[in-house]
């Protein structure tokens, strides 16, 4: 992975401060490095950086104007509180992107403040022939998820998986992360069954990372330990992550009945997989 580090002492800054004020050293970098740096920013911030800069206003043909269109990573998030705002932003980004640039990473953060503008859609459809990494943060109780990504390899989900996940080529996913830190009031058993069905959709994953609260939700499946899995046969590693909830202490006290039991259930078809449970297993 490319790493760029700049070190400048205080005295050097004083000596060269005037020169740096007038010199645009960032624009001297190759496009590949600039695109790498911009890939870590929210896509809206990237566009603002490229288009609204003083340099680009004075130079209509400045390469910064079109640089954002070549991003292979899109991170869509922010406090968008109306339907017009997010719909205009997303449609504008997708329509103006350079078609010759493949989309490799999509990060979609659906904040509770503007969940309502997509509720009537009922199904969130994501389709791409080049998408490799997909991250979704969504706490909506109204959405199902349909994935049609032929080359997706890494899928990360944080939120409430209380609706159906379906799609084509989900067997392509190799690395799966699930953090279910919310369970609907009065429908815990239903949510746990939906979560179990999610795991059944990913037939060929080699690494699985889940949160402590996800283990608790799975433990609510009726007769869980009698279920015979037909998937999760190729798991090489299973890691459990802390999720910041007090569930951690509860799971310590119920390690035998909840933690070990659910972990054994998940690894019934991959008994030799590496297990990483920080703080609990010695």
CA angle (155, 219, 172) in 5-degree steps: 20
Domain segments of the chain as ranges: 23-71, 72-92+99-276
147-167 pLDDT tens trace: 776 678 899 988 877 667 766
pLDDT at position 238, please? Answer: 94
pLDDT at position 8, please? Answer: 35
- Can you give the three-state secondary structure of 213-266, one letter per residue? HHHHHHHCCCCHHHCCCCCCCCCCEEEEECCCCCHHHHHHHCHHHHHHHHHHHH
Count Cβ neighbours within 10 Å for each residue of 146-164 and write b for 16 or more, e otherwise: ebbbeebebbbbbbbbbbe
Nearest to 211 by CA among 189, 244, 185: 244
pLDDT at position 113, please? Answer: 46
List 107's β-bridge partners, or say none: 75, 135
148 three-class SS: strand
Name the most confidently modeled range: 78-82, 133-137, 250-254.
Answer: 133-137
112-149 pLDDT tens trace: 444 444 455 566 677 777 778 888 877 665 566 777 76
Query: Residues in the chain, how many?
Result: 282
CA angle (174, 211, 186) in 5-degree steps: 115
> Phi then psi for 57, rounded to 5 degrees?
-65, -35
Radius of gyration of the chain (CA): 23
CA 89 to chain CA mean position, Å: 19
What is the C-alpha to C-alpha distance for residues 16 and 211, in angstroms, rounded to an integer? 49
182-220 pLDDT tens trace: 555 455 777 888 888 888 888 889 999 998 888 888 888
């Amino acid at each position: 992975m490319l790493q760029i580090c700049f070190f400048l002492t205080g005295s050097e800054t004083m000596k060269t401060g005037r020169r740096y004020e007038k010199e645009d050293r960032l624009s001297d970098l190759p496009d590949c490095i600039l695109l790498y740096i911009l890939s870590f920013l929210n896509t809206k911030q990237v566009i603002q950086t490229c288009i609204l800069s003083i340099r680009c206003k004075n130079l209509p043909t400045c390469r910064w104007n079109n640089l954002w269109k070549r991003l292979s990573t899109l991170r869509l998030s922010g406090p968008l509180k109306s339907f017009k705002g997010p719909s205009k932003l997303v449609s504008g980004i997708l329509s103006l992107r350079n078609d010759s640039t493949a989309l490799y990473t999509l990060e979609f953060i659906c904040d509770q403040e503007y969940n309502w503008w997509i509720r009537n859609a009922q199904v969130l459809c994501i389709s791409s022939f080049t998408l490799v990494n997909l991250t979704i943060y969504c706490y909506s109780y109204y959405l199902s998820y349909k994935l049609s990504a032929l080359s997706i390899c890494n899928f990360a989900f944080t939120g409430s998986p209380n609706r159906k996940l379906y799609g084509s080529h989900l067997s392509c996913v190799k690395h799966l992360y699930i953090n279910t830190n919310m369970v609907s009031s009065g429908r815990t058993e239903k949510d746990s069954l939906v979560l179990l069905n999610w795991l059944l959709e990913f037939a060929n994953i080699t690494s699985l990372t889940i949160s402590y609260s996800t283990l608790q939700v799975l433990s609510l499946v009726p007769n869980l330990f009698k279920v015979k899995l037909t998937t999760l046969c190729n798991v090489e590693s299973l890691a459990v992550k802390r999720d910041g909830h007090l569930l951690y202490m509860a799971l310590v006290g119920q390690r035998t009945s909840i933690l070990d039991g659910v972990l054994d259930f998940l690894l019934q078809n991959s008994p030799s997989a590496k297990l990483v449970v920080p703080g609990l297993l010695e």
